[in-house]
Amino acid sequence: MIIILAIAVKDLLRSLRNTFFLGMAVVAPLLLTGLMYFAFSGMTREKGEMPSLKVGVVNQDSLPPDSPLQEPLGNIIHSVFFDESLRSWISASDYSSDSSARQAVDRREVGVAVIIPPDFSAGFLAGDPQAVVTLVQDPTLSLTPQVVHSILVSLLDGFSGGRIAYQTFIDRRTALGLTFEPTRIISLLNDYQAWYIAFERDLFHSPEQAALRLQTQNSDASQQSGNLAGLMKFVMAGQMIFFAFFTGGYAMMSILQEQEEGTLARLFSMPLRRITILTGKFLAVVLIVTLQGLILMVASHYAFQIDWGTPISALLALSGQVVASTGLGVMLISFIRSTRQGGAVLGGVLATLGMLGGLFTVAVPSAAKLFEQISVVTPQGWVLATWRAALNGEPLSRVWIPFAVCLAFGLVTFGIGSASFRHRFTQIAR
């Protein structure tokens, strides 16, 4: 056992020092992961990072005498910017005067200053078009002014709606010859104001609790293809399987390399059984392919937030991948005569089997059916089926079946490869 481990560790060490091998086994898949990450991260990351918006507020508004409002409208605008729930992305500061707020913008203490004039509520209630809220912005910024502008427009639209409702109510009562109690009007206006503020805030912060609910639905086509995050895990699984088989084959090619370097003959001249040597080399390939799979799983988990399924399902799928890829690697290499021949044969055979196994079309819905039928003849197809079951969170009973086929593929190909190697090495001549 110690000798088997020593051979495996030696092969592992050599592989880790082989730049080309390392590039193909670890760097290339990681680079691919990185490329996919950068290509799709904007679409898959729902929690975008946003810089804090610095807003200065000057609230000089006050209620006119006999106002139906309970508090100045300026206070409502002010409270929105200082709302606790917005503190993570709006940092608001109070300024006492128009000029101090403008200076703060000039000094870039804030990106935008919101100036509410002293008679804003009175002018607004009287329908005075001069009742305006002034927005002073840093000309170099675009996002902060747009956001603040949108908030203000939304608030002012609400105020306008209240005023229209108030005016309509009075007009309707007058047209019907009905009298109205001023206290009743104030009550109605307050009700509208309260409803609108709640509506705005709820719609913004917790849409599911909003008085008016907006429901967005995916189109049929997008539902079929699944969301992007869902697709990424299958794309990654396809890539991982492809590189695992490639790594399995290339790592096993070390036996040809040893034959060419003369070290295999030297190993055979030592008091070791040939099966011990072959097992040591096989163990090295198993370790390398397992390590590679784990690296890719961890990397893609952090890059795409891919959930690889339950630990047992993922373990089964990874084991199936390792056994099938190393088994096929042993078989292919046993029929190859030299490392020079090996590169071309492995590249051609594994790319073809990968395509037939559906590794490159895993995310194409229209191709899935066709490749699903073809893929049953390839070990790659069965490894993909195992991962599909694991990634879809299917019960273990559904993961076991493709895993068992992977295992069978791996053992049969390993058996054929071992027999071929045994035949070959009993005839070794120098």
Q: Which residues bind other proteins (CB under 8 A)?
A: 2-3, 6-7, 10, 13-14, 17-18, 261-263, 265-272, 426-430
How far is the C-alpha of 20 from the C-alpha of 382, rounded, in Å? 28
Instruction: Tell me whether residue 196 or residue 421 sits nearer to other proteins (CB atom).
Output: 421
Rank residues 204 and 268 by Cβ distance to other proteins and give the closer one: 268
> At its nearest, how many Å lie between other proteins and the CB of residue 291?
18
Question: Which residues neighbour 371 within 8 Å (Cβ) at sequence distance 6 or greater?
Answer: 356, 357, 358, 361, 381
Least separation in angstroms between residue 259's CB and other proteins is 11
Shortest CB 265 distance to other proteins, Å: 6
- Token pair in block for residue 294: 């784990």
Nearer to other proteins, 2 or 214 (CB): 2
- State the Cα–Cα distance between residues 308 and 387, nearest whole angstrom: 8
Residues with Cβ within 8 Å of residue 222, at least 6 apart in sequence: none
What is the smallest separation between the CB atom of 333 and other proteins, expressed in angstroms?
A: 18
Comparison of 171 and 260: residue with beta carbon closer to other proteins? 260
Q: How far is the CB of 260 from other proteins (least distance, A)?
A: 9
Residues contacting residue 255 through CB under 8 Å, at least 6 positions apart:
264, 278, 281, 333, 421
Helices (H), 45-142: 73-81, 98-106, 120-126
Q: Minimum distance between the CB of residue 423 and other proteins, rounded to whole angstroms?
A: 13
Alpha-carbon distances, residue 157 vs 72, 190, 200, 428 (angstroms): 16, 16, 11, 89
CB closer to other proteins out of 269 and 397: 269
Closest CB to other proteins among residues 194, 428 = 428
Q: Using the minimum distance from each CB to other proteins, give the nearer residue, 190 or 276.
A: 276
**Cβ distance to other proteins smaller for residue 173 or 422:** 422
Of 27 and 198, nearer to other proteins (C-beta) is 27
> Residue 425 CB, nearest distance to other proteins (Å)?
9
Burial track 100-138 (b if 16+ CB lie within 10 A, e otherwise): ebbebbeeeebbbbbbbbebbbbbbbeeeeebebeebbb
DSSP code per residue over 354-409: HHHTTSSSTT-HHHHHHHHHHGGGSHHHHHHHHHHHHHTT--HHHHHHHHHHHHHH
265 Cβ neighbours under 8 A, 6+ residues apart: 259, 428, 430
Q: How far is the CB of 426 from other proteins (least distance, A)?
A: 7
Minimum distance of other proteins from residue 277's CB (angstroms): 9
- Spatial separation of the C-alpha atoms in residues 127 and 124, rounded to whole Å: 5
